[in-house]
């Protein structure tokens, strides 16, 4: 968008928000929903399907929450969303948090007013968390984050220590992979990788953008994913592609009939479950040794500048653990600590125990404590993410919930799919994809929370131990940690 377009865009978004709001709060719709909810317990014997019953539950919830949300607040939020992004970009570019502070403060005010109007009995941050992850609350997430905090800080530290050790310098091999990699070849390969995981190009597009993303044009038959590529670094484009393909597979796998009928049951039970699908394909599959055993020869054939080497080298490089200031380029061990930091700051801001002006200092102090590094400036620190510029509070935790669900789901899949790792080694992804389609994608929000769905599929509720075991086993082996070092991280469940 050209810079002068921002005002008009804000006004347009406000108009659209008002039109959508009017439809979402239509009284005729409300009357139907009221009738259905009055008979909710009897719907099954009245012949409603489970998908329909879940849709009534979701639609009634949406309706009631939207009715309670003041329309002027929605319009104000829509307008701030447009101008907020611009201000955030400017503040980041000029590395000046004070430019962004008023936007952040206005979002906090809007979110508080919204929470007070919609769920007056709920805690304001619980209201935010529940918006993106049904059933999430600080009561539920405080102990969850507490259970991963110490083990992950400890694992990051141990791995950083090993880099001093003489025989653990495998990361020098990264030099093998620096060079110039044709963007055209990378794009062609990325398309192939995506297609081989099962992304359906007749029902989707694959393009480039500055920020990789997935959108669904209101139909599982029109799903758009994007990736980005670097001419000098090979792995980031591949991993971003696998990540977005995971989101894309969820979208293409949604219940087609329910989507066509606009039934809310077709949507995921939370953003964590959606993220679990991108992370499952990117991390559990795409960063496994088996995956690279299959694809490394293909990569070698495509880039003649690459020296011949074992797939294990590339596998080690993409699994490098190296604390970074930037969340989106963080490795999978430090990533949850980036999230924890944001979770604590958001909670503080919304509970009033932290003031906007203090965010930069608190950010840097937590970075030091969790990851042992301090950003040089706010552009690399508290201004790095777009989320607070567009009013997304309570969203960040879904990234880590997604990582944990992914580990749990992959473990369950390994138990149920014969020779799953062998399939991956042979580039056969259909068994896993179909399993996820049946267990996750088509199920949508049949169950009210992701927790319930995960329990149905894996037999247990949200549980960090599976994730921690996965990390300590994988990185213990890659970094030759002693079993004592590994044990210090692992929670035996």
Binding pattern for the stretch 260-279 against a second copy, x by CB under 8 A and - elsewhere: x-------------------
Does 210 sit near a second copy (CB under 8 A)?
A: no
Token pair for residue 377?
């400036």
Of the pair 9, 174, the CB lying nearest a second copy is at 9
Does 218 sit near a second copy (CB under 8 A)?
A: yes
In whole angstroms, the minimum distance from the beta carbon of 180 to a second copy comes to 18
Does 208 sit near a second copy (CB under 8 A)?
A: no
Q: Pick from 172, 202, 232, 304 the residue near a second copy by CB under 8 A.
A: 202
Does 209 sit near a second copy (CB under 8 A)?
A: no
Q: Pick from 5, 297, 372, 459 the residue near a second copy by CB under 8 A.
A: 5
Does 195 sit near a second copy (CB under 8 A)?
A: no
Q: Pick from 84, 151, 204, 268 the residue near a second copy by CB under 8 A.
A: 204
Does 222 sit near a second copy (CB under 8 A)?
A: yes
Token pair for residue 123?
């805690």
Does 19 sit near a second copy (CB under 8 A)?
A: yes
Token pair for residue 299?
């990569």
Beta bridge pairs of residue 207: 226
Burial of residue 308 (number of CB atoms within 10 Å: 0-12, 13-18, 19+): exposed
Does 23 sit near a second copy (CB under 8 A)?
A: yes
Element (H, E) at 132: helix 124-132
Rounded-to-integer distance, Cα 8 and Cα 169, Å: 54
Rg for the chain (alpha carbons), in Å? Answer: 23
Rounded-to-integer distance, Cα 95 and Cα 476, Å: 38
Of the pair 82, 478, the CB lying nearest a second copy is at 82
Does 24 sit near a second copy (CB under 8 A)?
A: no
Does 8 sit near a second copy (CB under 8 A)?
A: yes
Rounded-to-integer distance, Cα 405 and Cα 408, Å: 5
DSSP code string of 359-391: HHHHHHHHHHHHHS---SSGGGTTTS-SGGGGT
Q: In 3D, which of 382, 364, 383, 384 has the Cα closest to residue 374?
A: 364
Q: Pick from 25, 89, 221, 288 the residue near a second copy by CB under 8 A.
A: 221
Active site residue 244: yes
- Catalytic residue (choose from 81, 114, 133, 244): 244
Does 173 sit near a second copy (CB under 8 A)?
A: no
Rounded-to-integer distance, Cα 19 and Cα 394, Å: 26
Contacts with a second copy, residue ranges (CB under 8 A): 1-5, 7-9, 12, 19, 23, 200-205, 217-219, 221-223, 260
């Amino acid at each position: 968008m050209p810079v002068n377009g921002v005002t008009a865009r804000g006004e347009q978004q406000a108009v659209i928000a008002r039109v959508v709001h009017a439809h979402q709060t239509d009284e005729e719709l409300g009357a139907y929903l009221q009738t259905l909810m009055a008979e909710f317990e009897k719907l099954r014997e009245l012949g409603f399907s489970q998908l329909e019953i879940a849709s009534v539950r979701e639609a009634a919830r949406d309706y009631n929450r939207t009715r309670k949300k003041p329309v002027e607040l929605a319009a104000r939020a829509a307008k701030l969303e447009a101008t907020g992004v611009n201000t955030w970009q400017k503040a980041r570019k000029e590395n000046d948090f004070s430019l962004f502070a008023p936007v952040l403060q206005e979002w906090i005010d809007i979110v508080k007013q919204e929470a007070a109007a919609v769920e007056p009995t709920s805690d304001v941050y619980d209201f935010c968390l529940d918006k993106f992850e049904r059933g999430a609350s600080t009561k539920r997430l405080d102990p969850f984050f507490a259970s991963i905090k110490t083990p992950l800080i400890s694992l990051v530290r141990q791995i950083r220590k090993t880099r001093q050790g003489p025989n653990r310098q495998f990361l020098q091999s990264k030099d093998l992979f620096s060079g110039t990699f044709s963007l055209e070849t990378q794009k062609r390969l990325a398309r192939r990788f995506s297609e081989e995981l099962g992304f359906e190009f007749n029902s989707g597009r694959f393009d480039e953008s500055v920020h990789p993303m997935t959108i669904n044009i209101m139909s599982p038959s029109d799903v758009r994913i994007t990736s980005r590529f670097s001419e000098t670094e090979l792995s980031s484009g591949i991993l971003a592609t696998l990540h977005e393909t995971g989101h894309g597979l969820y979208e293409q796998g949604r219940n087609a009939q329910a989507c066509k009928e606009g039934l809310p049951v077709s949507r995921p039970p939370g953003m964590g479950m959606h993220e679990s699908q991108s992370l499952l394909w990117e991390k559990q599959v795409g960063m496994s040794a088996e995956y690279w055993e299959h694809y490394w020869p293909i990569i070698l054939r495509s880039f003649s500048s690459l020296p011949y080497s074992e797939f294990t080298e590339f596998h080690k490089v993409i699994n490098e653990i190296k604390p970074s200031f930037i969340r989106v380029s963080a490795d999978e061990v430090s990533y949850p600590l980036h999230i924890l930091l944001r979770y604590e700051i958001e909670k503080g801001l919304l509970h009033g125990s932290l003031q906007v002006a203090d965010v930069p200092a608190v950010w840097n102090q937590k970075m030091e404590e969790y990851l042992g590094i301090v950003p040089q400036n706010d552009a690399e620190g508290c201004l790095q993410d777009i989320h607070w510029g567009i009013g997304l509070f309570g969203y960040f935790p879904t990234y880590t919930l997604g990582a944990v669900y992914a580990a749990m789901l992959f473990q369950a899949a390994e138990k149920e799919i014969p020779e799953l790792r062998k399939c991956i080694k042979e580039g056969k992804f259909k068994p896993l994809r179909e399993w996820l389609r049946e267990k996750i994608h088509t199920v949508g929000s049949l169950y009210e929370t992701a927790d319930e769905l995960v329990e149905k599929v894996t037999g247990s509720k949200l549980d960090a131990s599976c994730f921690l075991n996965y990390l300590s086993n994988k990185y213990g082996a890659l970094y030759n940690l002693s079993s004592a070092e590994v044990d210090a991280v692992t929670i035996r469940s």
